[in-house]
């Protein structure tokens, strides 16, 4: 995927500092992830008034009372998916589209679900403008996944869930990985879950985190 030079030129120094300080400096080592996050113009996915802070290691507000996650968390979640370029990935919560772009740089195909129509429309336009052709979009309640497009090699959830829903596990291939923030509304634990068999999973906690709650998520 080619990124317009005008974005690379203006924010190149900020992007390099993000890579060195917020990603490599905090233990992100996957070459695929680092290359993707160096390439994707994060400033395109935040409101214009917030663009000067696009590469700071902070979450930033976007429309519909949602946020774009801080670069470190995006890097950490993407690295945990262990992408090699052959995977079919389901993303629950398109949001700004930034995480979608990072996934699309590495994975074979990305299926992204968002329930807020303004967010999905804006993300779709930005991602189209940047030339991504390996993404499919769905305006829907992602709490039930996207069954007709499954099964998936990887699933990533970008909003807080009280628990991992059974629909996600059912739509994940055996041997596949799911990464999600699980817990209460105020604070969660980022976890990755490997599907060992049709009936068995293994969950591993990563770090504490704070995501916006998934809207209309099942109780």
The predicted-structure confidence for 79-133, as pLDDT tens digits, reads as follows 999 999 999 999 999 999 999 999 999 999 999 999 999 999 999 999 999 999 9
pLDDT of res. 4: 46
* Spatial contact of 152 and 173, defined as CB atoms under 8 Å apart: yes
Among left, alpha and beta (phi > 0; psi -120 to 50; other), residue 65 is: left
Q: Which residues pair with 92 in a beta bridge?
A: 113, 157
Whether 33 shows a pLDDT value over 80: the answer reads: yes
The total number of residues shown for the chain amounts to 219
Strands (E), the chain: 60-61, 67-68, 88-92, 109-114, 135-139, 152-157, 172-183, 188-195, 201-209
Average pLDDT over residues 59-83: 95
Instruction: Tell me the catalytic residues.
Output: 69
Q: Pairing mode, if any, of strands 60-61 and 109-114?
A: unpaired
Give the Cα separation of 189 and 106 in Å (integer).
25
Cα four-point dihedral sign 65, 211, 201, 85: positive
Could you tell me which of 174, 180, 177 has the C-alpha nearest to residue 198?
Answer: 174
Question: How confident is residue 216, by pLDDT bands cut at 50, 70 and 90?
Answer: low
Distance from first CA to last CA of the chain, Å, rounded? Answer: 39
pLDDT of res. 8: 47
Question: Where do the structural domains in the chain lie, given as residue ranges?
Answer: 5-209
CATH classification of 5-209, choosing from 3.40.640.10, 3.40.50.150, 2.60.40.10, 3.30.930.10? Answer: 3.40.50.150
Whether 37 shows a pLDDT value over 70: the answer reads: yes
Whether 25 shows a pLDDT value over 80: the answer reads: yes
pLDDT of res. 199: 87
* Alpha-helix residue ranges (DSSP H) falling in 20-91: 31-39, 71-80
Return the SS3 of 36. Answer: helix
* Spatial contact of 143 and 120, defined as CB atoms under 8 Å apart: no
pLDDT of res. 139: 96
Q: Structure pTM? A: 0.92
Average per-residue pLDDT for the chain: 92
Average pLDDT over residues 43-57: 95
Q: Among all chains, which residue has been given the structure tokens 């985190």?
A: 209
Q: Pairing mode, if any, of strands 201-209 and 188-195?
A: antiparallel
Average pLDDT over residues 18-39: 97
pLDDT of res. 214: 80
Each residue of 157-213: pLDDT tens digit?
A: 998 898 999 999 999 999 999 999 998 877 899 999 999 999 899 999 998 888 888
């Amino acid at each position: 995927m080619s990124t317009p030079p005008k974005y690379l030129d203006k924010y190149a120094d900020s992007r390099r500092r993000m890579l060195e300080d917020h990603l490599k400096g905090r233990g992100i080592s996957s070459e695929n992830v680092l290359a993707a996050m160096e390439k994707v113009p994060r400033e395109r996915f935040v409101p214009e008034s917030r663009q000067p802070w696009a590469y700071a290691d902070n979450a930033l507000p976007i429309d519909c009372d949602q946020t774009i996650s801080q670069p470190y968390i995006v890097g950490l979640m993407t690295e945990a998916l262990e992408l090699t370029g052959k995977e079919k990935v389901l993303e629950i919560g398109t949001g700004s589209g930034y995480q979608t772009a990072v996934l699309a740089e590495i994975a074979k195909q990305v299926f992204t679900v968002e329930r807020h129509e303004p967010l999905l429309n804006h993300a779709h336009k930005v991602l189209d403008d940047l030339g991504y052709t390996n993404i499919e979009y769905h305006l829907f309640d992602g709490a039930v996944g996207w069954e007709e497009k499954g099964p998936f090699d990887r699933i990533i959830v970008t909003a807080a869930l009280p628990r991992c829903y059974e629909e996600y596990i059912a739509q994940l291939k055996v041997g596949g990985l799911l990464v999600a923030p699980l817990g209460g509304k105020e604070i969660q634990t980022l976890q990755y879950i490997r599907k060992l068999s049709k009936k068995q999973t293994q969950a591993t906690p990563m770090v504490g985190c704070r995501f916006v709650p998934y809207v209309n998520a099942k109780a």
